[in-house]
Structure 1
Amino acid sequence: MKTTACIIHSLVCGVLVTGAGPAHADHNETVVLDPLEVTATRSATESNQRVPAVIESVTAQQIAETTNAATAAETIKYLPSLQVRERYIGDRNGIIASRTAGTLSSAQTLLYADGILLSNLLGNSFAYPPRWGMVSPEEIQQVDVMYGPYSSLYAGNSMGGVVNIQTRMPQKFEAHANMQWFTQRFDLYGTKQNNEGKHASASVGNRINDLSFWLGVDHLDTWGQPMQFAVATATTGGAGTAVTGAYRDVSEKGVSRLVFGAYGIDHSVQDNLKLKLAYDISPSLQARYTVGLWQLDSDTRVDSYLRTASGAAFYNGNVSIGGNTYSVRGLNPTAANSVHLMQALQLQSKADGGWQWQLGLSDYRYNRDESRTSTANNPTLSSVGTVQDMQGTGWTAADAQGTLSRGAHQMDVGYHIDHYALRSVTDNASDWSSATTTTRNSASRGDTMTQALYVQDAWRFAPRWKLTAGGRYEDWRAWNGQNQATVGGSLQTSDYADKQEHAFSPKLALSFEPEPAWGFNAALGRAYRFPTVSELFQSITSGSNLVQGNPDLQPERVLSAELSAERRFAKGYLRATLFQENKHDALISQTVTNGVSACGSATCSFIQNVDLVRTRGIELATQWQDVFVHGLDLGGSLTMTEAEILRNSANPDTEGNRPPRIPNAVAKAVATYHQGQALTYSLALRYSGRQYTYLDNSDSNPDTYGGASHFFFADVRMAYKFADRWTAALGVDNLNNDKAYVFHPYPQRTAFAQLKFDY
């Protein structure tokens, strides 16, 4: 991974490096270098005009050498502080977590691909992850990450960071094909599986005079391990069916419980077809058009451990075990079908007399998005269920930006607007598998729009000093809010009043480079994160937990600061960063402990504002080339975090607790050895420390299903270029087979095999 000292991204760092770079070889080999052009060697502290904070990057070559990546989400897993909650290969709920944002805070980081917004800001939960499926890992050229809300070019959702994916556009004819196979042996409670899958991609591209194009297709067919288990910690009244087969263990809260079966065992097929066009209208103006089509077919099955006296499987209802009666819920299959369409049109000028500009318009639309769920006590005998339809949901974003470079100044000015629309209807069904619907069960709808004006000036007021100052004014409104829910057997409708807020977010950063080997940077930024349409208006049920929307939410307000020092050497760097975020009115779901009629028998949570959450810590990062022996590269990072709820008037008992899903430590290390030009070996280690799932920190036993556990994963990979244009790779993730949990179980040991062709 590269830091701000390793400058290869022309947009972010202001320099251009092309070619494959130096090849590693044994001392007795002849080394043939690919063409290499270096047009600048300034440090990032000197040249990084646009992003006034820490940036870390990973390149396509590093991904190919170190990472068993079947999805784009997996390509960033070794970057400092970052974690993607990809619970299995192909998981659509891959939330990005960073220094200050947890694995359920999907609206607190931003994801872009070639300037196209892929963050799903319809919600702030597991249900609204970035749209990773629109990017194939094989098309990625580089990924850059900015930590924190320090640039006025980005919305307040950047409080956790901004991930920018840059994909490849061909300069001559090229063709690529990739095939991966992977398998996971999963063993937990009564579930023992061999989960296999495959990933295939192919692309072709060329540049013909002023037109360049890239056409790619990506296919992923994968099985996941169970995501949830039917459990009970207390007995219920009434008689039950006598059964055997339950497993006994201890819950995340330290309470003895029974485990009755597994569900959420997903088999999904995902396809992505993508076309990118770029046309040079003139020597100083380029137009780009991108269109992507993502399709999903998913089925989840269940695995009941329970057997009646006749040997038949038991799924849902009251059971009698050891003289006690328990309620079994959740063992219901589901299915989903989706077709999403993304389009983007961009115009960009090239530098002309110090002035350049760009315009962008993008749209992401749920053309089809249907989720079907069985609700029958015995899904093998009855087909009743529900069907959720989110057709028409999506977002549109437009940007206009100009950049003026004049003397010691580089100034950015711009305008942004986005519109997010939620359309969700759930109907009861007489046959859930065929989507034969009957009556309305529930519905949610609403719209949000944010408009922003921003300015930022990077002023090099002295040869070794740079001051970056900026501000972002945002106007936000929500309207058309409506929620329907079945309460007491009848459908009730709630219409919500329109809301409007506006805010100004100042930014300030100062960098100092006393000599090329040293760089120092201090950054301060305020940001506002407005409530998403889902947090305002939608109720979401996950298993037995109901999360209620709240139309009275206030925006999150953060004040973030970081102080960095970096020491650069001929073959590497060391960086230390202190950071702190004070988050006012933090938007977090809080569990209701007393009875609420709208919740029925489910555990009920409401999205509420927590008055003040403070997160602070230190991040250390390093990267080295040719360490000890020629061809050995080492990199690593350590992030130590202290997060605390300082004030919570809605639930004072939680004051002094840690907020959910912020681990106290995240550590990573990657070693890559190049044996000549054709063969590389990689070993990567990932560690995550103590964190909590519940706001009251009652999960005292985190290393089990339902908890957010420690984990330590060792990943290995070997890539061999065995012939011209042909590469084979073998790898294993979680080689040590650590059984870890992020409420759901993480993947156990998973083996990979890959074959690639590049022309």
Structure 2
Amino acid sequence: MAISLALAHGGYAVADDAIGEAALQAITVNSTRSALDPNLPASSASKTQEEMRQQQNIFNPEDALRNMPSMSIRKRYSGDRNALVGGRSFSTTQAPRALVYMDGYLLSNFLGRFDAPRWNMLAPEEMSRVDVLYGPFSALYPGNSMGTTIAISTNRPTAFAGSVRIAGQDQSFSQYGLHGHYRNVQGSALLGDKLASGLWYKLLLNHQDATSQPMGYYSATANGAGVFAVPAGGAATPVTGIVYDQGPFGSRRAIFGANAGAIDHTRQNTAKVTVGYDVSPTVSAEGFAAWWSNASVTRNQTFLRDAGGKPVWSGRVSDGTHVFAIPANAFAPYQRDEHHAQAGLSIKTRNRSGWNGSVSASLYRVLDDVQRNAGSADPLAALGGAGTAVVRDGSGFQSLDAQTTYTPTSGDWGNGAHSLTFGMHADNYTLRQQSRKTADWRIAAGGETQFVGGKTRTLALYGQDAWQLAPRWRAVVGLRAEAWNADDGTQRVVPGASVNYPRRSEQAWSPKLSLSWDADADTTLRASAGRGTRFATVAELFQGTAAGSSITINDPGLKAERSDALELTAEHRHAAGSVRASLFQDDIRHTIWTQLNLNVFPNVTNVQNIGRVRTRGLELVGQQDSLGIDGLSAEANIAFTRAVIVENDNYQPSVGKQWPRVPRVRASATLVYAPADAWNVAASYRYSSAQFNEMTNSDVNSNVYGGVSRISQLDVRLRLKPARGTEVALGIDNLNNDKAFQLHPYPGRTLFAEVRYAF
């Protein structure tokens, strides 16, 4: 029994069936090919299914990326629907600079400011390979690829096979004197077959039940002299439990408890069916339909107790030294229920040489998404009462890609040979978001208080030529033309006037050029230059809202980001590994920045253009399969980066400062000992230096809640194969219990256990 791969990404990389059946046994993938452009004009990194299972405790799909070179994954807890990607020159709050694909279908979600890729449309059990491409150097990918492009390949059946998996976590977390264990469980089932007729199918079911550690805290900050403002009013309730610390700006701060739906209990389900048909040895068609549901119930926890030991949630309070006023909704919970669906269809040819073609379309829809926000603190909220609701039904995105490629035969691949790619891409995003005032916050029915909506559309044509100039010289030349427009933008406030934004359109030309020289059979030097244009998303343009504990101020006049990037790379390969060094520069004009201020309540987010940000860095990556001991292997990477604000007419004090949330040093290393197929042990260490969240770099106290701290964490994993088809894994993430923050706290020490059976 074997599982091979759907390796065609846009029609240009397909695995041979015979090779796949010989190389892949059961569902374990021992040899896979990249789903990225085979004529890559820039650096890339990858992990196969076997490498992921050997090295990492993977609970959610995005976990597979956390040790990749120059990458950050803002996964705050298991089940986090906002696990955002950060890269060489962009932060984890600049989500539109990362593109994520699943078997060539777009998973990137730009409908909300902090909406991550829709990782939920796949499960770890079906991931066969992950490939990462850096920078805007390939013409084949949209302008959002100016940061990082991630291509995830999933298993494709060639015979009847399947697997079941159960994984669990137990997190120990402690902060501000609050201790707790937060447990998660996930189960998956995967079944597939290929029939004699050429028809194949794959079914996936995944269920997850997870609870986060506290994500946010209600606080009050003293002035520069260390004095807390005294609120007006009458008598104050004597309380204990207020915790004092220093905030990110070094100011004295009082912490009252975990608030804003701090502890999130989510139940998530994914169901997916994929069907394909090999029309002939060279023509295939496939499609999929996926459904995802999420039910979130949040709660809060006050630190305050009155003289009788009862919890205090709001009102004027005093600890005998200071007096504070806590709003009635400071500890208000919320609930969120959502159902999303995605479908895709592709047809492609796979000739070994000559011309090939492909057409691929996908559709993503938010079937229903309702967040119900209480107007009072937890104890009273359980009884109902007034509140608000946010409804996002009908939002979604869709994409269409058509591509044709020409590959020379092996005998023709000599001096002057050309490998050609031409294609078309179209996508559109639709945002619909309504806010309501509710008499009972547990029921979303109520009168409309605000509506925001709009659409963006992008149409692109591109061409790329990989030209073998001489036996050791190759040039990759590409050009991408993109046309973008935004329309139907509106904000309606009740009572009040509606604002209808005028239609906007922009065009961009993005040239690409890469020149490589093979110094010998094992060493390649490459210079790459490319421009990438990233247009504003529908959320950045139109999603100005006041919902729950946050206010967002949008900007319908945002300019497109324009990246002029350079990369110089030297790579040496040998029988047991490889080493790569890359110098890179990313010079970006009109950077779109979303600034979140957690130090005010409600939280305020502003969207704006920054004149010019320049990032320069050095990235070193190495991998060695043999370290002198049989079965011992290692891989490591480190990046040194300096990202600086060069121009910002809107705010001069930020000029010359370090760009927020891009660490100066980022590294990871993994050591694997696998002396036999029956077991292996692995340890991974990752490090990221402290960063700033403010453009003025005034948040100098990073290692606290609200800061962007250093990360220094060690993960370990033991995998056993006690019987044929059976795997058992035990591990610990963040073994050293490093306390780290990206505004919100990251998880503490987490025990991991996994059992898997394949047939």
* 2:263 corresponds to 1:260: no
For the Cα contact (< 8 Å) 2:248–2:699, is it kept in 1?
yes
Q: Deviation per CA, 1:405-432, whole angstroms, max 9, x where unpaired?
A: 2441111111111110000001011111
How big is the shift at 1:433?
A: 1.8
* CA-CA distance at 1:658 after TM superposition: 1.3
Larger mean CA deviation between 681-690 and 329-338 belongs to 329-338
Residue aligning to 1:484 = 492
In structure 1, the partner of 2:558 is 553
Out of 192, 216, 230, the position equivalent to 2:204 is: 216
Q: Percent identity?
A: 35
- The equivalent residue for 2:184 is 197
| Equivalent residue, structure 1, for 2:111 | 122
Partners of 2:314 and 2:496 lie apart in 1 by 25
**Aligned counterpart, 2:226:** none
Encode CA deviations 1:101-124: one digit per residue, 9 max, x unaligned. Answer: 21111101100000000001224x
1:229 and 1:261 in contact (8 A); partners too: yes
* Equivalent residue letter for 1:66: Q
Q: Aligned partners of 1:20, 1:228: CA distance in 2, in Å?
A: 51
Match for residue 631 of structure 1? 631
2:477 pairs, out of 463, 469, 476, with: 469
Counterpart in 2 of 1:620? 620
For 2:268 and 2:244, the matched residues in 1 are separated by 36
Within 2, Cα distance between the matches of 1:66 and 1:533? 38
| Alignment partner, residue 225 of structure 2 | none
Q: Work out whether 1:446 is the aligned partner of 2:454.
A: yes
Pair 614,162 (structure 1): closer, same or farther in 2 beyond 3 Å: same
Which sits farther off after the overlay, 213-222 or 313-322?
313-322
After superposition, the Cα gap between the structure-2 partners of 1:654 and 1:193, relative to the gap in structure 1 and judged at 3 Å, is: same
Counterpart pick for 2:386 among 384, 387, 407: 384
Q: Secondary structure at the match of 2:258?
A: strand
Closer, same or farther: CA 354–20 of 1 in aligned 2, 3 Å: closer
Report the AA paired with residue 422 of structure 1: L
- Corresponding letter in the other structure for 1:84: I
Would you say 1:336 and 2:332 are equivalent positions?
A: no
How big is the shift at 1:50? 3.3
Q: Unaligned stretches of 5+ in structure 1?
A: 1-7, 24-33, 594-598
**1:252-651 to 2 correspondences below 5 Å:** 252-263=248-259, 264-329=262-327, 330-351=330-351, 354-376=354-376, 378-380=380-382, 383-406=385-408, 407=412, 408-435=417-444, 437-485=445-493, 490-540=495-545, 545-590=550-595, 602=602, 604-651=604-651
Q: Distance in 2 between matches of 1:36 and 1:87?
A: 32
* 1:442 Cα deviation from its structure 2 partner: 2.1
Partner of 1:109 in structure 2?
Answer: 98
Which residue identity does 1:427 align to in structure 2? R
- Whether contact under 8 Å (1:447, 1:478) holds in the other structure is yes
Q: Which runs of 5+ in 2 are unaligned?
A: 1-5, 223-228
Amino acid at match of 1:574: V
1:165 deviation in Å? 0.2
Distance 1:733 1:504, change over 3 A: same
Give the match's secondary structure for 1:169. strand
Whether the aligned pair in 2 keeps the contact of 1:592 and 1:605 (CA below 8 Å) is: yes
SS at match of 1:157: helix
Greater shift in the superposed pair: 134-143 or 278-287: 278-287
Aligned to 1:242: 238
Deviation (angstroms), 1:242? 3.1
Task: Report Cα offsets for 1:302-330 as digits up to 9, x if no partner.
Answer: 00111233433222344233343223353
Query: C-alpha distance in 1, partners of 2:48/2:22?
Result: 11
The residue that corresponds to 1:750 in the other structure is: 750
- Contact 1:60–1:141, Cα closer than 8 Å, also in 2: yes
Q: CA 1:173–1:308 in structure 2 vs 1: closer, same or farther (change >3 Å)?
A: same
Cα gap change, 1:270/1:256 in structure 2, threshold over 3 Å: closer, same or farther?
same
Bigger mean CA deviation after superposition, 302-311 or 150-159: 302-311
Contact 1:687–1:712 (CA<8 Å) still a contact in 2?
A: yes
1:577 is aligned with what amino acid?
S
Q: Which AA in structure 2 matches 1:109? A: A
CA distance 1:79–1:682, change in 2 (3 Å): same
For 2:177 and 2:30, how far apart are their aligned partners in 1? 56
Task: Please give the secondary structure, in 1, of the residue aligned with 2:89.
Answer: coil
Q: Deviations over 1:69-111 (max 9, x none)?
A: 1110101111111121110111110101111121111101100
Counterparts of residues 63-82 of structure 1 (less than 5 Å): 63-82=52-71
Q: How far is the alpha carbon of 1:493 from its aligned partner?
A: 2.4
Distance (Å, rounded) in 1 between the aligned partners of 2:661 and 2:458 = 28
In the alignment, what sits opposite 1:31? none
Q: What is the rounded CA distance, in whole Å, between the counterparts of 1:615 and 1:653 in structure 2? A: 19
- Provide Cα deviations, 1:154-193, integer angstroms capped at 9, x if missing partner: 1110011100000010111101000111100111114211
2:3 paired residue number: none
Mapped pair 1:663 → 2:663: yes
| Per-residue deviation, residues 112-137 of structure 1 (Å, max 9, x unmatched) | 000000001224x32x1100000101
Distance 1:22 1:620, change over 3 A: farther
Answer whether contact 1:19 1:36 (CA < 8 A) is retained: no
Q: Would you say 1:740 and 2:740 are equivalent positions?
A: yes
Query: In the TM superposition, what is the alpha-carbon distance from 1:379 to its structure 2 partner?
Result: 2.9
What is the TM-score normalised by the length of structure 2? 0.92
Q: In structure 2, do the counterparts of structure 1 residues 615 and 542 end up closer, same or farther at CA, with 3 Å as the change threshold?
A: farther
**Contact 2:630-2:675 within 8 A present in 1 as well:** no
- CA change 1:393–1:97 in 2 (3 A) is same
Distance 2:80 2:441 in 1: 23
> Secondary structure at 1:717's aligned position in 2?
strand
Question: Cα distance, 1:604 vs. partner?
Answer: 4.0
TM-score (norm 1): 0.92
- 1:164, 1:732 → 2: CA distance? 27
Q: Contact between 2:388 and 2:548, CA under 8 Å: does it hold in 1?
A: no
Q: Secondary structure at the match of 2:50?
A: helix
Please say if residues 20 and 36 of structure 1, whose CA atoms lie closer than 8 Å, have aligned partners that are also in contact: no
SS at match of 1:107: helix
SS of the residue corresponding to residue 722 of structure 1 reads: coil
Contact 2:372 2:442 in 1 (8 A): yes
CA distance in structure 2 between the partners assigned to 1:570 and 1:655 by the alignment: 48
Structure 2 counterpart of 1:508, one-letter code: L
Deviation digits for residues 497-528 of structure 1, max 9, x if unmatched?
A: 11111111001111111211101111111011
